[in-house]
Amino acid sequence: MPKAPSQTTGSGPIVQIADVSFSYGDALVLEHVDLCVERGEFVGLVGPNAGGKSTLLKLILGLLEPQAGRIRVLGEVPSQVSDRIGYVPQFPSFPRDFPISVEQVVTMGRLGIGSSLGWYRAADRAAARRALDEVEASDLSKRRIGTLSGGQLQRVLLARALAGEPEILILDEPTANIDQRGETDVFDLLATLNARLTILVVSHDIAFISDYVSRVACLNRTLTCHGTSAVDGDAIHQLYGDRVRLVDHSH
Ligand SMILES: Nc1ncnc2c1ncn2[C@@H]1O[C@H](COP(=O)(O)OP(=O)(O)OP(=O)(O)O)[C@@H](O)[C@H]1O
Write the pLDDT tens digit of every residue in 172-206: 998 887 888 888 999 999 999 999 999 999 988 88
Ligand 1 atom at shortest distance from the alpha carbon of 56: 18
Q: What is the CATH number of the domain that holds 66?
A: 3.40.50.300
Distance 247 CA to ligand 1 centre (A): 25
Q: Are 246 and 236 within 8 A, CB to CB?
A: yes
Q: State the pTM of this model.
A: 0.86
Atom 27, ligand 1: residue with shortest CA distance? 49
DSSP 98-123: SS-BHHHHHHGGGTTTS-TTSPPPHH
Q: What angle do CA 103, 104, 106 make, to 5 degrees?
A: 65
Residue at 112 is within a domain: yes
Residues 6+ apart with CB under 8 A from 79: 62
Residue at 151 is within a domain: yes
Residue at 86 is within a domain: yes
pLDDT tens per residue across span 95-136: 777 789 999 999 999 887 755 556 778 888 999 999 999 999
Q: Give the mean pLDDT of 156-163.
A: 95
Q: How many Cα atoms sit within 13 Å of 181 on the Cβ side? A: 3
Q: Is the CB of 203 under 6 A from ligand 1?
A: no
**Pairwise CA distance, residues 115 & 230, whole Å:** 48
Higher model confidence: residue 119 or residue 156? 156
Q: Give the mean pLDDT of 55-60.
A: 96
- For 153, phi then psi, to 5°, come to -65, -40
Residue at 3 is within a domain: no
Q: What is the ipTM of this complex?
A: 0.97
What integer pLDDT is reported at residue 30 of this predicted model? 97
Mutational test site, ligand 1, from 53, 61, 63, 203, max ligand atoms within 8 Å of CB: 53
What integer pLDDT is reported at residue 73 of this predicted model? 97
Q: Are β-strands 15-24 and 27-37 bridged in parallel, bridged antiparallel, or unpaired? A: antiparallel
Q: Which of 63, 9, 82, 69 is nearest to 39 (CA)?
A: 9
**Pairwise CA distance, residues 133 & 121, whole Å:** 19
Residue at 248 is within a domain: no
Q: Give the mean pLDDT of 25-33.
A: 96
What integer pLDDT is reported at residue 122 of this predicted model? 86
Residue at 196 is within a domain: yes
Q: Identify the domain containing residue 58 by its residue range.
A: 15-243
Count of domains forming the chain: 1
**Pairwise CA distance, residues 169 & 18, whole Å:** 20
Distance 52 CA to ligand 1 centre (A): 6
Running DSSP on this structure, what letter comes out for residue 96? Answer: T
**What average pLDDT does the chain have?**
85
| pLDDT interval class at 39 (50, 70, 90) | very high
| Three-state DSSP state, 250 | coil
Residue at 9 is within a domain: no
Residue at 155 is within a domain: yes
| Three-state DSSP state, 54 | helix
